[in-house]
Amino acid sequence: MADVRLTGVTKSFGTTEVLKGIDLEIADGEFVVFVGPSGCGKSTLLRTIAGLEEQTGGDIAIGGRSVNDLSPSDRGIAMVFQSYALYPHMSVYENMAFGLKLAKADKAEIDRRVRGAAETLNITDYLDRKPKALSEPLSNLDAALRVRMRYEFASLHERLKTTMVYVTHDQVEAMTLADRIVVLNAGRIEQVGKPMELYERPRNLFVAEFIGSPKMNLLAAEIVSATAKGATVRTAAGETLKVAVDAARAKSGDTVTLGIRPEHLTTGGKGDAISADVVFVETLGHATYAYLTAGETPVTVLLPGDARPSAGEALTLRVPADQAHLFDADGLAFDRL
Ligand code: ADP
Ligand code: MG
C-alpha cells in the first residue's frame, strides 16, 4: 500500500447518507485508527476504501492513483475482518492462506506464515475446521488475547512499515497503536490527530468525551471574565475557577462547559477548587477511583492507590487552570494556552 487520499467521500444506502463527506489523507506507512460510536460509519468507511462498497460521491486515491473504478483485489489492499467474514467452504487454514495465495507467495512460505499466525492466535488446533464449526470465542477474542493482538499489530506494523487502517471501540488499542486517530461521529470526521493531541487538545465536546477512560468531567459554568490570556468561570454551585485558554471570543455571562480529566483533579494543595461528595470508591491497587457528585453532576477522580476516601465524605478538588478545558455553548473548545 501507499498513501491514501479521500476527497469528499460520501456513501448512501438507499436514502440514508452514512458517510457525509470524508476528507482524509493517510501518509505512506502510517497506522491510522478509526474510532467512534457504534453505527457512526467506521466499517463502511473501511469497506469503501477497500472497494467492498462503492462510494456514492467523492474520490479515493491510493499511491496517487484513483481507485474509484478498481475492484478490491486490484487496489493492492489486504483486509482483516472483524468477524464472520470467512469463506464458508474453506478451512481456517485455507482462509488464512487465501490472501497470500492471491499475492502469489510460494507454498512453503504460505505454510510457514499461516502456522506462525495460528501459533500467535492460539488456534493451531482449529486449522482444519470449517468456519461454521468454530465456536464463538474465536471471533470474540478474550481480554488476554486482545493484549497479545495489540502487541502483534504493533510489531507487524513495525516490520512491514505498510500503511494500516484499523477500526476499534477499544480506547487503549486506539491510543497505543495509532500514529493518528480519526474520530468519527454520524458519518463525519470530528477530529484527526496524534493520540495525545486528541487527548490534550480535543477540538470539541464530542472528542473530549469520547477520548479518555474514565471520561473527562464536564461541569456547566458561565463566563465571569474572558480574554485571550485566560478565562474565569463560575460553576452552577458558585465556585470561581481560572482556566488557561484563549477566550477572546467569549464574553461575561456566556454559557460554557468546563472540562477536567479525572487524573488532573487533586485533593491536596491550594488553589481554585470544586467541592463534591463521594458516592462510590473503586480500589484497584495501583490507583483508586472515586465517583462523586457536585450537585447533580457526576465527577470522577483518579487518586493514588493508597487513598481511601469514604462514601458520603465531601472532598475539595483542585482544578489546575493549565489542565482545564473550556467549551463554548456550541461545544467548540477554546484553545488551551
Ligand atoms: P460502525 O462500523 O461505525 O458501527 P457501520 O459503518 O457498520 O458503523 O454502519 C453505519 C450505518 O450504516 C449504520 O446506521 C448502519 O445501519 C448502516 N449500514 C451499514 N451497512 C449497511 C447496508 N449494507 N445497508 C444499509 N445500511 C447499512
Ligand atoms: Mg463496524
Q: How many CB atoms lie within 10 A of CB 295?
A: 14
> Quick one: three-class SS letters along 227-246?
ECCEEEEEECCCCEEEECEC
The tally of domains found in the chain comes to 3
Cβ neighbors of 159 (< 8 A, separation 6 or more) are none
Q: Are residues 93 and 30 in the same domain?
A: no
Confidence of residue 103 (pLDDT cuts 50, 70, 90): confident
How much is the pLDDT for 150?
Answer: 83
Q: Are residues 55 and 36 in the same domain?
A: yes
Q: Which amino acid is at 164?
A: M
Ligand 1 atom with least separation from CA of 53: 23
Asked whether residue 314 carries a pLDDT value surpassing 90, the answer given is yes
CATH of the domain at 197: 3.40.50.300
* Residues 22-60 pLDDT 10s: 999 999 999 999 999 999 999 999 999 999 899 999 999
Ligand 1 atom with least separation from CA of 38: 4
Q: Are residues 124 and 199 in the same domain?
A: no
Ligand 1 atom with least separation from CA of 44: 6
Q: Check if the beta carbon of residue 292 is closer than 8 Å to that of residue 298.
A: yes
The grid cell for 42 is 467506521
Q: Check if the beta carbon of residue 46 is closer than 8 Å to that of residue 33.
A: no
Q: Are residues 16 and 29 in the same domain?
A: yes
Q: Are residues 66 and 200 in the same domain?
A: yes
Q: Which amino acid is at 144?
A: A
Q: Are residues 180 and 52 in the same domain?
A: yes
Q: Are residues 10 and 77 in the same domain?
A: yes
Asked whether residue 1 carries a pLDDT value surpassing 70, the answer given is no
| Ligand 1, pocket residues at CB < 6 Å | 13, 18, 36, 38-44
Of 158-162, 179-183, 329-333, give the lowest mean pLDDT range: 158-162
Whether residue 333 lies inside any domain: the answer is: no
Q: Distance from the CA of 41 to the center of ligand 1, in angstroms?
A: 6
Ligand 1 atom with least separation from CA of 46: 6
The domain of 128 spans 85-133
User: What's the mean pLDDT when you consider all of the chain?
Assistant: 92
Asked whether residue 257 carries a pLDDT value surpassing 50, the answer given is yes
Average pLDDT over residues 54-81: 89
Confidence of residue 141 (pLDDT cuts 50, 70, 90): low
* Residues 241-251 pLDDT 10s: 999 999 999 99
The grid cell for 111 is 505454510
Whether residue 334 lies inside any domain: the answer is: no
Task: Choose the residue to mutate in 9, 15, 18, 56 for probing ligand 1, maximizing ligand atoms within 8 Å of C-beta.
Answer: 18
Classify strands 65-66 and 297-304 as parallel, antiparallel or unpaired. Answer: unpaired
Asked whether residue 254 carries a pLDDT value surpassing 80, the answer given is yes
* Residues 211-221 pLDDT 10s: 999 999 999 99
Task: Choose the residue to mutate in 13, 22, 169, 184 for probing ligand 1, maximizing ligand atoms within 8 Å of C-beta.
Answer: 13
How much is the pLDDT for 232?
Answer: 98
Whether residue 297 lies inside any domain: the answer is: yes
The grid cell for 121 is 492466535
Round to whole Å and give the CA distance between 309 and 311.
Answer: 7
Q: Which amino acid is at 17?
A: E
Question: In whole angstroms, how far apart are CA 48 and each of 22, 51, 69?
Answer: 11, 5, 12
Cβ neighbors of 30 (< 8 A, separation 6 or more) are 163, 164, 179, 180
Q: Are residues 236 and 302 in the same domain?
A: yes
Q: Are residues 233 and 323 in the same domain?
A: yes
CATH of the domain at 221: 2.40.50.140
* Residues 259-293 pLDDT 10s: 999 999 999 889 999 999 999 999 999 999 999 99
Query: Which residue's C-alpha comes closest to atom 24 of ligand 1?
Result: 13
Q: Are residues 152 and 284 in the same domain?
A: no
Chain length of the chain: 337
Query: Which residue's C-alpha comes closest to atom 26 of ligand 1?
Result: 13
Q: Are residues 67 and 113 in the same domain?
A: no
Q: Are residues 193 and 225 in the same domain?
A: no
What are the respective helix, strand and coil percentages of the chain, to the nearest 5?
25, 35, 40
Q: Of 170, 185, 206, which closes a domain? A: 206
